[in-house]
Structure 1
Amino acid sequence: MNSRSNFDTLAPEFALKINGAALPLAAAADLIGINVLDDVNTMGMFTFSLTCMDTAQMQVKWIDDDLFREGNPVEIEMGYRDNRRVLFSGEITGLEPSFPENGPPTLTVRGYDRRHRMMREHKTRSYINLKDSDIASQLAGAAGLKPQIDDTQVVLPYVLQHGQTDLEFLLSRARRIDHEVVVDGHSLIYRPRKISESATLTLRREIELLQFRPRMTTMGQVQELVVRGWNAKDKKEFVARAAVGDEPSLMSGKKSGAASVQPIFGASGSTVVRVPVQSQQEADQMAKQRFSEMALGYIKADGVCIGEPLMRAGVVVKIEGLGARFSGLYYVTATEQSFSIAKGYRTRFAVRRNAT
């Protein structure tokens, strides 16, 4: 069997910092496990659990400790003796003690990345003559985050945020143009989905890749997607089309799901989407986004690999050893990084692909 990697996978490590300082040795000795969840469609989250019984004094501990107060900043690293990376930076938002009938009490500390600050208030307000990137910059600044924003180019005469939190609104705007909303520490990143990027890492079956379950379906795959909108002010219809060949990348495959449908089942026609749009440029942008999103539904999969700190939501991973159809590049939509004293370091993930 080939070597798994050029670093020591037999020596998993973690580092947990609270308020900028390493977890005290007494707390580290009581640690049961750490989980970090990362998802392109929602906030990142962490939990870590400790036993919280002082057997010498026969009383609970840690629950009232200032170390685990809400709002305290948390940074989590996972990896190996010579390959450890920061996986999470956020803040404590809650405590969940458990007092079972049989067994010692435990304390679970939960928190989210700093996008949680954008989920506090439902708002209704309007934006005039701004690009989506301008709106993202404004919302990042209001949440105390540093904006790292890719220019979206299309100026929008009027955009309404109606009864939504800032994060709900920003995610809905991002989905319209195939963008991601990512937080890295204190920075909010607003960028196009990176399915055309080269692979961040490679997973080989029965080496790094421990489990993998892909599901391919042609249901929902169409050759063309049409966006129709109406400008009430100018009384003008906007029509935009995206079709086979408009995929931003085939992700090392030869034929997209949409392209596979016609020779098998005949002409699949088109899907018409009616949405509010304010310009032809915006309609064109949305048609390509909707078609790209539909195409990424061709193959969905979930799997487990050895703990891998480079495996993050929003990256592209190469998977080998699954035959010609299912080997290739996959876009990672979610990960769960877990470290426990009993089981070591594992990474669970969900991925998508638009071609075989």
Structure 2
Amino acid sequence: MTQTTAYSALPHIAIAGSEDRDLAANIIAMIVEETSDGLYRCEITLSNFGPNRSRMDYLYLDRQKLDFGTALAISFGPPRADVKIFEGRISALEASYSLGGTSTLTVLAEDRLQDLRMTRRTRSFEQMSDSDILRRIAGEHSLTPQIQLDGPTHAVVAQVNQSDLAFIRDRARACDTEVWVEGSTLHAARRSDRAAGNVRLAYGVGLIEFTVRADLAHQRSEVGVSGWDVAGKTAISEVAARSEISSELGGDTGGSQILEQAFAPRRERVVHTVPLTSSEARAIAQVRYRERARRFVCGHGFAEGDPRIRVGCTAELSGLGAMFDGRYYVVRACHSFDLDQGFKTEFDVERAGIGS
């Protein structure tokens, strides 16, 4: 079977479900950015003047092809094997008219989480788990829920003058979970369950530039949470420590261990939460500890354009030396294309430990 070894770096653009090669041929620049907070965005700058219906005219200002709410999808790769990196709807159109007579049109689009961002409410949810809450909100926005969450049923959870997006982000963060949309499906899953693939990059082979820092400033030996059990009339005290991150370390050495070896144990108490049960306090402590531990090592890199580099994937980096070689979790990816640089991928990564 013949394997494709080279292909055009020009992105594939689909408008309202159909690929538009003429539109792709007029691209001047494009970026698609995604983060672990969800709500992916896209910007495309197009040449906007040329032959149009037997005369020279503006190409895209009649709103026939590009209009508000029109479905837009971007993919890269060889024909019939391309990888979709964005799917959303047009939310803004920006025309530019330069002194030299050149006209461009910038198309801005967001994924379906835009619906949640633009809906603000005050309400309460009674006797519902976080999974139940996310499923209900997904249904309100005609999204199919794909929720991988477990947790207790809450007596009451309040959404107070928050957008639906901010609210589900808060609920997901409290459960150590990330939310994102693919097409019309709302996903919620922990990092270990996201399964967005594995990408191998070596410095000088795929990986163009990389800056990485291991920083103890925000590391702690343990994180404690206190509260009061009203029903049992007893104090609550829960602690999260190194064992919470051990499954993500593999053979690496975590920040809290290095902190204790190099300086001394450092403990932190979370005082602005109000857990009513031991399970709530334990969950808060675990989430806060993991948030700190995962950011012990943070990196920022540029790679040759690779649509497989997505938020949630594992980037296995080599050629960086024993300390920084290893597996990183991608928390931000920005795919860009222009006529000068071609297809490039910028990304941010996190890692809970360093090699020895």
TM-score by length of 2: 0.92
Which stretch shows the higher mean deviation, 221-230 or 319-328? 221-230
Deviation at 1:223, TM superposition (A): 0.4
Deviation at 1:198, TM superposition (A): 9.6
SS of 2:245 mapped into structure 1: coil
Aligned partners of 1:231 and 1:37: how far apart in 2? 44
Matches within 5 A, 1:240-251: 240-251=238-249
Indicate yes or no: 2:214 matched with 1:216.
yes
Q: Is the 8 A contact 1:73 1:89 kept in 2?
A: yes
Q: Give the unaligned 5+ runs of structure 1.
A: 1-5
The one-letter amino acid paired with 2:213 is: R
Deviation at 1:7, TM superposition (A): 5.2
Deviation at 1:57, TM superposition (A): 4.4
Identity, in percent, stands at 28
Q: Is the 8 A contact 1:251 1:330 kept in 2?
A: no
Deviation at 1:266, TM superposition (A): 1.7
Name 1:268's counterpart in structure 2: 266
Name 1:51's counterpart in structure 2: 47
SS of 1:323 mapped into structure 2: coil
Q: CA deviation digits over 1:71-123, x for unaligned, max 9? A: 11111111245752111111111101111223501100001010000011221
Deviation at 1:124, TM superposition (A): 0.7
Distance 1:7-1:345 versus aligned 2 partners, 3 A rule = farther
SS of 2:349 mapped into structure 1: strand
Deviation at 1:311, TM superposition (A): 0.7
Deviation at 1:313, TM superposition (A): 0.7
The one-letter amino acid paired with 2:209 is: Q
SS of 1:245 mapped into structure 2: helix
Deviation at 1:15, TM superposition (A): 1.2
The one-letter amino acid paired with 1:14 is: P
Q: Is the 8 A contact 1:195 1:251 kept in 2?
A: no
Q: Is the 8 A contact 1:95 1:109 kept in 2?
A: yes
Count of aligned pairs: 350
Q: CA deviation digits over 1:242-266, x for unaligned, max 9? A: 0112215344442100111011112
Matches within 5 A, 1:100-111: 100-111=98-109
Aligned partners of 1:253 and 1:230: how far apart in 2? 38
Q: Give the unaligned 5+ runs of structure 2.
A: none
Q: Is the 8 A contact 1:239 1:283 kept in 2?
A: yes
Which stretch shows the higher mean deviation, 277-286 or 121-130? 277-286
Q: Is the 8 A contact 2:13 2:21 kept in 1?
A: no
Q: CA deviation digits over 1:133-168, x for unaligned, max 9? A: 111101111111100011323111111101100010
Which stretch shows the higher mean deviation, 287-296 or 75-84? 75-84
Indicate yes or no: 2:322 matched with 1:324.
yes
Name 1:141's counterpart in structure 2: 139
Q: Is the 8 A contact 1:19 1:73 kept in 2?
A: yes
Deviation at 1:28, TM superposition (A): 3.0
Aligned partners of 2:343 and 2:174: how far apart in 1? 36
Aligned partners of 1:247 and 1:92: how far apart in 2? 40
Aligned partners of 2:72 and 2:291: how far apart in 1? 34
Aligned partners of 2:39 and 2:196: how far apart in 1? 25
Cα RMSD over matched residues? Answer: 2.2
Indicate yes or no: 2:11 matched with 1:14.
yes
Name 1:38's counterpart in structure 2: 34
Distance 1:353-1:255 versus aligned 2 partners, 3 A rule = same
Q: Is the 8 A contact 1:37 1:335 kept in 2?
A: yes
Deviation at 1:216, TM superposition (A): 1.4
Name 1:3's counterpart in structure 2: none
Distance 1:119-1:44 versus aligned 2 partners, 3 A rule = same
Q: Is the 8 A contact 1:177 1:289 kept in 2?
A: yes
Q: Is the 8 A contact 2:230 2:276 kept in 1?
A: no
Distance 1:28-1:272 versus aligned 2 partners, 3 A rule = closer
SS of 1:247 mapped into structure 2: helix
